[in-house]
Chain A
Amino acid sequence: MDIVINRLSKKFGNKEVLRDFSLRIKEGTSLSVMAPSGKGKTTLLKILAGLETPDKGYIEGLENKRISMVFQEDRLCPTLNALSNIRLVCGKEIKETQIYHELEEVGLKGNEKHPVKELSGGMKRRVAIVRALLAPYDILLLDEPFTGLDNESKKKIIDYIKEKNKMRTIILVTHDHWEAEALGNEIVFL
């Protein structure tokens, strides 16, 4: 089922971050949303994730849909290690060996049991991406997910996301043209 965003508006105090924003996202599409900073990209994702409510407008097509997300910040539990952070959101069908395998694929072999607070920014980012891909989902929301990754790592991670996503809907927000084109089938500007 397509996601239909209809005349969405959102204000924070006097600042209007979204105004009458409408969009149709076809099921299974990889959509990149581009805009400069402060133009409501993150707010749009938060509304889609159910973390914010719009002042006006509505969204159709999210009923019974499971959402997974890579946040702008890593949002990993600092007292848990990489493996446990992923285990926290996974269903029982994901075996520990699979988590080890996925972490190895993104270049984190040997760091599975290190406390995440000891990992570098790029490593934490990759843990957050693996977590989002292993969680059960129908729609994957990516909020500037490649921050802190070098160009080579970015390419590898984008290929990794494409491979693991298996035709499910992806909504990426970014201000980087290259990222938007590399991951998205469609690009829209806010």
Chain B
Amino acid sequence: MPGKSKDNKDTGGITKNKVKIWAVLLWLIIWEAAARFIGQEILLVSPVTVLSRFFQLAASVEFVKAVFFSFIRIIGGFFCALIAGTLLAWAGSFFPWIKEMAAPVMAAVKAAPVASFIILILLWVPSRNLSFAISFLIVLPVIYTNVLYGIENTDKELLEMAKVFRVSGSRRFRYIYMPEVMPHFRAACSVALGLCWKAGIAAEVIGIPSGSVGEKLYEAKIYLQTPDLFAWTLTIILMSICFEKFFLFIVDKVTEME
């Protein structure tokens, strides 16, 4: 079987904006100084207090349950949208009527405010599964648009070559389409993973499903527990970043194997 050359790490001229430790430390110092200057924990809590509260929360069973509850639903919605968006994009690239039919729906989903969707979906879906539905809806157009763009921009000359030489469908997919689509797919996943956490947690805060991270955030706000609010926010950021890194690592490994 043909194998890809090892030299395929073309970044396409994109410079990675890596987070520098010195910059993080500087912002933490500014935050700490601001918290001390204000002197009221209810308005601005110090980073040390947030970390301490985070570790206290993390040691509880309730924390683990809430994280599991939200993670399963938000990432479940992400994966379902990943599969649906990819399949729809492939179908749309071969059948123009599918693309034409999907276009207004995707445009509407992209343009409509997330809050409108949350309230609307609450009418149809129990609040327990609201974050799943919202995560799905937010991710779907991102994946669909990017994968479709990748397929449609696949080198036409290589496809003609494959046609003349009667290259099989599976080999065309693997050696002609995949190298073109994967960079767009990866970029879409990176954007979508950030968006699904933002939208999913927002849905939980509005729908307040029992035992979710969103409910904990809502309670922290109602009872003015600012350290809890920050600690739960830190939890969401960590879940989002860790999963994104893990998922993109897997995508990169699959791409390298190809």
- Residues of A near any B CB (own CB < 8 A): 49-51, 66-69, 71, 73, 75, 77-81, 83-85, 87-89, 113-116, 118, 131, 135
Residues of chain A within 8 A of B3, CB atoms compared: 80-81, 84
Majority DSSP secondary structure for residues of A touching B: mixed
Q: Is the CB of A81 within 8 A of B161?
A: no
Q: Is the CB of A114 within 8 A of B5?
A: yes
Residues of chain A within 8 A of B6, CB atoms compared: 115
Give CA–CA (A80, B7) in the complex, Å: 9
Closest 5 CB pairs of A and B: A84-B2, A115-B5, A89-B165, A75-B161, A87-B2
Q: Is the CB of A50 within 8 A of B5?
A: no
Task: Say yes or no for B100: interface residue by CB 8 A criterion.
Answer: no
Q: Is the CB of B158 within 8 A of A85?
A: no
Q: Is the CB of B164 within 8 A of A51?
A: yes
Q: Is the CB of A75 within 8 A of B2?
A: no
Residues of chain A within 8 A of B164, CB atoms compared: 49-51, 67-69
Give CA–CA (A117, B111) in the complex, Å: 41
Besides A71-B160, A75-B158, 16 new A-B residue pairs in contact (Cβ under 8 A), listed by A number: A49-B164, A50-B163, A67-B164, A68-B165, A69-B164, A71-B157, A75-B161, A77-B176, A80-B4, A83-B2, A87-B1, A88-B2, A88-B167, A88-B171, A88-B175, A115-B6
Task: Say yes or no for B194: interface residue by CB 8 A criterion.
Answer: no
Residues of chain B within 8 A of A66, CB atoms compared: 166
Task: Say yes or no for B11: interface residue by CB 8 A criterion.
Answer: no
